[in-house]
Structure 1
Amino acid sequence: MKLLMESLVLLCKQSEERVHFGRRISFFHGEMSTGKSTIAELIDYCLGGSLQKTPAIQSELVGVQLQAVIRDTALLIERNPNTTTSVEVSWERDGEAGRENLPLAAGEVPIVGDEIYNYSDFLLRTLGMPVLKVRKRKDDPESALQRLSFRDFYKFCYLDQPDLDSSFFLLDQPIRQEKSKDVLRYVLGFHSDRLNELQAELSETRQEQRTMREAARQIDEFLHRYGFASKATIEAEIDKLNDEEEKLDHEIENQGSDDLPASTVAEEDQALIGGLSDAIASKTAAIADIEQRLKEQESLIAEFLAMKFKIARSSTASELLKGAAFHACPACGTEVSRKSDAAHCVLCKSDLAEAPGGFESDSAVMERDLSDRIDDLKRSVQRLKRSHDRQNEELGGLTTRRADAQRRVDAARRQVESEYMKRARRLESRRGEIRERRRLLVRIMGMPGEVEAKMKEADALSTRISELERNIQTEQGRFDAGRKNVDALEKNFHALLRAIHFPEIKADDKVFLNQRTWFPYVHPKGNESLAWTYSDAGSGGKMVLFKICFALALHQTAAQRHLPLPRFIVIDSPMKNITPDINPEIFRNFYTELYRLLDNELKSWQCIMIDQTFFEPPETLDDHLERRLTQNEPDHPPLIRYYHGH
């Protein structure tokens, strides 16, 4: 159960800070804001706690490593502030080494071996402790089981500064107190492996019984809802279905086709569809002919318009060039010959008798004739377009009438189905329903018997549950050693309070540990009516001493009676709310008693102490380490030597 911490390494942005620990005691003291409490917080962080993000840690820390030894296993525990769900653990023992990224939360599948599901399981198994399961709610015998983690034990080994005067090991916090109680029960001998196994088996047996009864209840409700209360009822319905199916088979076999009704297809609509199809084809052809004629006449209009422009341009040129004498060709500049026989053109040498003469007198007539032809063609195009629109409209009407007639024909065809086919399908459908119903009944015929069998099996488990409850009571009755451990803890706690001169604690006072709440009470002169406890201590300083003395008494009892508790203790600021110069007697007495314990009963324990003022251990307490932390003394630097921000 001994976890020996050797060193803590802070990987910072500008340096690597190493903190060494003594095998017996390590005392860190000095000024405020130098990182004393951070040492304990980083140990807690490496052992599965959350990171306390002080300004220095938040701005400078890159990673942290804890080197420790558990029995014959050397551990290197590494955590990164950016990773909050797992811990990197490397280990070495007997020449074998391993490394795993262990999750903080347990999953469904073991990570290492068959029992280790998370980091806590790894630490517990390495310490030689079993992975414990306890009932979540102690007053509910049917409550589910939950695991005790390393962190549940660690709260009795690490007394952190913020909770020293505000919480008594979480026993005063309703939601979290049960696990603290479970740890004390286990450590003090009120929990055994046999009891754990019996409680686990009892929980599983009760769950199995609940499952059986719930399954039987649901099956029974289903059967009653659909009228299947008993096997006889189901068999009677199957017989009725068999009789009905036999009658249906006979009716289907003897069904004839002599009474088939005649066809009722609408012949008039069919004939109408043929006529409409012919009309639609005729209309389509007529529309195509009209479109062809429209295309031809529009093309002719375009040609006549082009001819008009050509005549107009020719007449204009003739008028302009009339009587002109050419000395050179206007196209190429060649000199025109003067020789001419007056029968041919001076330029093109064409026969003047056959030349049109530039449309001198007929051009106007030709233009008027072309205009008249164009107008006639436009009127013809308009008539064709009107005819085209009319034909398209008539075609649309014919198409609509044919579609309506086709729908009527299709509807009539769908309705024309013989009574024979209808009746045959109806009979086949009913026969299929009967067969499906019968298959269902055959499948569920055994359910009423299954309900009865499950209820009998569940009742049989009641005998096993009663037997387990008796065994648990018997096992709990064997806790004589646990009661002796409690007596020893009460005596050690009272002796410690007396040794440090705790105010108002007298020799004839009694200490009583309530085994229901697990709070220690002080009975002044044995008077139970005047009992007081941690929350009644009054000042914050007394609450701090009360809690620390109880933890030391628990560790002392564990050492004396060989109880399963990790053999180290970390105390951060035992003199919180206590001023050493004003209360020098309490200061001296506390450390004197602490060193006495470490030199005697707690000789195999490792203690890490953090306080503002150093108290020198005796020479007999060898292998101890002391470090002073200051802001400005180079020989006593702060935890992060280059950081002076806060």
Structure 2
Amino acid sequence: MNTYTDSPKLVINKLILKGHEKDYVVSFSLGINIIYGDSDSGKSSILNLIDYLLGAKKIYMYEEIEKHGKYALLEVELNDKTYTIKRDIFKPEDFIEVFSTGIENIDDLFPALYGPNYQKEGPAGYFSDFLLSALNIPLVKIKESPTKADSDLTRLSFRDIFKYCYLDQDDVGSRNILDSNNPVVFTKNKEVFKFIYNLLDSQITDLQGQISEKTSEKNKLVERYNVIASFFRDTQIDSLDLLIEELTLGREELELIEKELGSITQRMRSDNSYFEELRKLIVHLENENTKYKTNKSLKLEQMEQHIRLKKDYKQDIEKLSSSLAVIKKLPAKPEEVDCPVCNSRIEYANLALNFESNPADTVKAEVKSLKNRLKEIDTLIEEERNNIIQLESEEQRLVENLEKAREMLDINTGNFVAPFITQRDEFVAEKARVLERINKIEQLIKMRKQLNEMISKSEILQNQLSVLLQKLELLKASAPSIDEVLTNLADYLNDFLINIPIKNPHGISINTKSFLPVVRERNYGDLTSGGLRTLVSVGYYFSLLQYSLINSTNYPSFMMIDTIGKYLGKTKRDSDLEANNKEDALEGLDDPTKYINLYKYIAKISESMLKKQKNHQIIIVDNDLPEDAKGELMIRQYVVRHFNSGGTDGASIGFIDNA
């Protein structure tokens, strides 16, 4: 259990995408987890699925997931307590299901239903509030305009904090990291940063309010538990141990009945007319099953065609939109114009030939038409998906009927004897009664476990209260200063950049207004080299994680980075391709050793923290690994998945590996 000197702990154990034909599983462990391989193999989709299951508004999925997937499961540990999160990947507005157990045992518990955002509250509340509460992060409101005394307050969500944990492929090396180009969003992000590192002026007051709320929640939970426990006693529902014992006896009795039925079947001889009727029924059911399989296959093929057509429509819209942008930039017929792409001079007469025949209104109309077709194709895709689900349901019903018919037929002996039919029917009726009793016992066990879960939640709340009280005393005694936090973060970043190393690693700090990195006395957004910004952005996020492992923060000790090697020279073989940016070349970022040192440094710090029992998790996606470090990374079991189009060297062809 975390103490007041610890930060919250979020650990991903397993991700499962449930498909029509199979499950697609990725398991993770503490420390570093690397996923690498060819483009368009589903690497980023794994991070997108994790992000979605942790409350993102939508999921950006490649077409194979859209074709094969149904819903996703995420097994997580939140402050050492295991939960399973279940979410439909096609219906982001539906309630999110949370089970207080691992994936293997979700059928033993009823799920809590949470609203996916603050506009839709579920029966159990909001999903963001659940995550924050489970991580023992106070539920607070922060000022929209912190410089104004009468500023409106806005709710701080888990998604606000998670921005500092997930560096996606669009933000790695981006000038506008953390929405720094959007004043409204960036202002809120800076307040979130202060909250994460206990720098808000109102933090002590907020913490006191959280303690009061958790105390009230715990008291209500205990009161509710007492009421339900009293009801169980009054209705004489057995204890969990007795119910489990009854369930065991029921299953043993069911096994004996199955053996007797098997024995009778072995001894039965044929009643030819009855046998022929059963045979005809089985043949009919098999034919029907084949038809459903064929129809499902056709529907899957049609859906795949629609998905491809949808992709084509999107590409056409993008091309036409680009044409509109160029038409808009055309001047009023000078002799020569500047190319909007490469800045070279172009004769207007030649250029106009390509665009005057396609006036803007015509292009806009075509874009509008394509968008309408896109909506129609989305509707068709949804209809096909629903048809497939319906066909699967009918197919399952047929399979069950087929199994029942085959059981009665006994293909091995193929014979039934009339005197045994009555005896067999009695056993079948007894089997039905035992199954009904087993189902009732299983439901009662779920109810008992749900009651026990209330006790467990009460204990968690008590532990959380203890941690919050200790944290409150710590904040009252010695709340950290902004200068102290920023200096420590700058020291971590400085150490990171020196170990890469970058050229001229001086003037490294954290800006006191934006809380973003400064290198060589230049603000992060002013750095001209994409490769340098990549290293600085990765180092900055890694510094945020490092600080949380040593100090008490509201940062969940978890980090995901997508395409960590963006803009960096990776191997001697492809360094010429990577060095086409003059600024990167001047920085020497085409040198593969920097890329190797990046992995080695992260591994060194991570292993050091784990030895000190500072648990954390880092999930990294990349297109390739440095050759000189690949073997060591494999030996240390950092690589959790490897994809390549040929499926060679122990790799899968992709996340969806039956495509």
Contact 1:7/1:68, CA 8 A, preserved across alignment: yes
Alpha-carbon distance in 2 for matches of 1:176, 1:70: 27
Match of 2:142 among 131, 134, 147: 134
- Equivalent residue of 1:546, what SS? helix
Code of the residue aligned with 1:11 in structure 2: it is K
Equivalent positions of 1:326-345 (< 5 A) are none
CA shift, 1:9, in A, is: 0.8
Alpha-carbon distance in 1 for matches of 2:202, 2:630: 43
Alpha-carbon distance in 2 for matches of 1:476, 1:515: 23
User: Equivalent residue for 2:181?
Assistant: 172
User: Equivalent residue for 1:191?
Assistant: 200
Inter-CA distance 530–52: structure 2 relative to 1 (3 Å threshold): closer
Inter-CA distance 611–557: structure 2 relative to 1 (3 Å threshold): same
User: Equivalent residue for 2:167?
Assistant: 159
Alpha-carbon distance in 1 for matches of 2:17, 2:499: 38
Inter-CA distance 607–159: structure 2 relative to 1 (3 Å threshold): same
- Equivalent residue of 1:518, what SS? coil
CA shift, 1:617, in A, is: 7.9
How many equivalent residue pairs? 357
Contact 2:74/2:85, CA 8 A, preserved across alignment: yes
The answer on 1:487 being equivalent to 2:451 is no
The answer on 1:28 being equivalent to 2:35 is yes
- Any gaps of 5 or more consecutive residues in structure 2? 1-7, 103-107, 210-474, 571-588
Contact 1:153/1:183, CA 8 A, preserved across alignment: yes
User: Equivalent residue for 1:100?
Assistant: 112
Alpha-carbon distance in 2 for matches of 1:621, 1:636: 14
User: Equivalent residue for 2:221?
Assistant: none
CA shift, 1:155, in A, is: 1.2
Match of 1:590 among 566, 585, 598: 598
Alpha-carbon distance in 1 for matches of 2:521, 2:61: 40
Give RMSD over aligned pairs. 3.3
CA shift, 1:519, in A, is: 2.3
Contact 1:40/1:570, CA 8 A, preserved across alignment: yes
Equivalent positions of 1:55-70 (< 5 A) are 55-70=63-78
CA shift, 1:548, in A, is: 0.7
User: Equivalent residue for 2:607?
Assistant: 599
User: Equivalent residue for 2:51?
Assistant: 44
User: Equivalent residue for 1:566?
Assistant: 556
Match of 2:526 among 516, 530, 536: 536
CA shift, 1:613, in A, is: 2.0
Contact 1:171/1:181, CA 8 A, preserved across alignment: no
CA shift, 1:515, in A, is: 2.5
- Equivalent residue of 2:541, what SS? helix
- Equivalent residue of 1:503, what SS? coil
Alpha-carbon distance in 2 for matches of 1:105, 1:590: 37
Alpha-carbon distance in 1 for matches of 2:78, 2:653: 26
Equivalent positions of 1:297-316 (< 5 A) are none
Code of the residue aligned with 1:594 in structure 2: it is I
TM-score by structure 1 length? 0.50
Residues 339-380 of structure 1 deviation map (CA, whole Å, 9 limit, x = unaligned): xxxxxxxxxxxxxxxxxxxxxxxxxxxxxxxxxxxxxxxxxx
Contact 2:140/2:206, CA 8 A, preserved across alignment: no
The answer on 1:88 being equivalent to 2:91 is no
Higher radius of gyration, 1 or 2? 1
Match of 1:608 among 619, 623, 626: 619
Alpha-carbon distance in 2 for matches of 1:618, 1:635: 16
CA shift, 1:28, in A, is: 0.9
CA shift, 1:130, in A, is: 0.8
Code of the residue aligned with 1:138 in structure 2: it is P
Residues 596-623 of structure 1 deviation map (CA, whole Å, 9 limit, x = unaligned): 1101239511111111223448689966
Alpha-carbon distance in 1 for matches of 2:81, 2:653: 28
Inter-CA distance 54–538: structure 2 relative to 1 (3 Å threshold): same
Match of 1:630 among 644, 648, 653: 644
Contact 1:23/1:623, CA 8 A, preserved across alignment: no
Alpha-carbon distance in 1 for matches of 2:98, 2:190: 32
Inter-CA distance 185–621: structure 2 relative to 1 (3 Å threshold): farther
User: Equivalent residue for 1:317?
Assistant: none
The answer on 1:520 being equivalent to 2:517 is yes
Contact 1:90/1:97, CA 8 A, preserved across alignment: no
Inter-CA distance 128–618: structure 2 relative to 1 (3 Å threshold): farther
User: Equivalent residue for 2:313?
Assistant: none
Inter-CA distance 73–530: structure 2 relative to 1 (3 Å threshold): closer
The answer on 1:548 being equivalent to 2:538 is yes
Inter-CA distance 571–175: structure 2 relative to 1 (3 Å threshold): same
Code of the residue aligned with 1:515 in structure 2: it is T
Code of the residue aligned with 1:5 in structure 2: it is I
Alpha-carbon distance in 1 for matches of 2:12, 2:118: 25
Code of the residue aligned with 1:518 in structure 2: it is F
CA shift, 1:45, in A, is: 1.0
Alpha-carbon distance in 2 for matches of 1:90, 1:639: 31
- Equivalent residue of 1:172, what SS? coil
The structure carrying a bigger helix percent of its residues is: 2
Contact 1:88/1:102, CA 8 A, preserved across alignment: yes
Residues 386-437 of structure 1 deviation map (CA, whole Å, 9 limit, x = unaligned): xxxxxxxxxxxxxxxxxxxxxxxxxxxxxxxxxxxxxxxxxxxxxxxxxxxx
CA shift, 1:516, in A, is: 2.2
- Equivalent residue of 1:597, what SS? helix
- Equivalent residue of 2:71, what SS? strand
Alpha-carbon distance in 1 for matches of 2:59, 2:128: 17
Equivalent positions of 1:417-456 (< 5 A) are none
Code of the residue aligned with 2:142 in structure 1: it is V
Inter-CA distance 624–598: structure 2 relative to 1 (3 Å threshold): same
Contact 2:643/2:654, CA 8 A, preserved across alignment: no
Inter-CA distance 595–143: structure 2 relative to 1 (3 Å threshold): same
Code of the residue aligned with 2:20 in structure 1: it is K
CA shift, 1:148, in A, is: 1.1
- Equivalent residue of 2:179, what SS? coil
Give the share of equivalent positions with the same residue, in percent.
22
Alpha-carbon distance in 2 for matches of 1:639, 1:19: 14
- Equivalent residue of 2:565, what SS? coil
Contact 2:116/2:126, CA 8 A, preserved across alignment: yes
User: Equivalent residue for 1:79?
Assistant: 87
Code of the residue aligned with 2:617 in structure 1: it is Q
User: Equivalent residue for 2:243?
Assistant: none
Alpha-carbon distance in 2 for matches of 1:621, 1:152: 36
Alpha-carbon distance in 2 for matches of 1:98, 1:166: 46
Code of the residue aligned with 1:531 in structure 2: it is E
- Any gaps of 5 or more consecutive residues in structure 1? 201-474, 522-528
Alpha-carbon distance in 2 for matches of 1:530, 1:493: 13
User: Equivalent residue for 2:566?
Assistant: 576
Match of 1:4 among 7, 11, 17: 11
User: Equivalent residue for 1:503?
Assistant: 503
- Equivalent residue of 1:487, what SS? helix
Inter-CA distance 600–199: structure 2 relative to 1 (3 Å threshold): closer
Contact 1:21/1:625, CA 8 A, preserved across alignment: no
TM-score by structure 2 length? 0.50
- Equivalent residue of 2:509, what SS? strand
Contact 1:595/1:621, CA 8 A, preserved across alignment: no
Contact 2:15/2:50, CA 8 A, preserved across alignment: yes
Alpha-carbon distance in 2 for matches of 1:141, 1:98: 46
- Equivalent residue of 1:169, what SS? helix
Alpha-carbon distance in 1 for matches of 2:655, 2:80: 34
Inter-CA distance 153–194: structure 2 relative to 1 (3 Å threshold): closer
Alpha-carbon distance in 1 for matches of 2:166, 2:545: 12
Alpha-carbon distance in 1 for matches of 2:133, 2:208: 21
Code of the residue aligned with 1:182 in structure 2: it is E
Match of 1:149 among 157, 164, 178: 157
CA shift, 1:124, in A, is: 0.6
CA shift, 1:97, in A, is: 4.8
Code of the residue aligned with 1:103 in structure 2: it is G
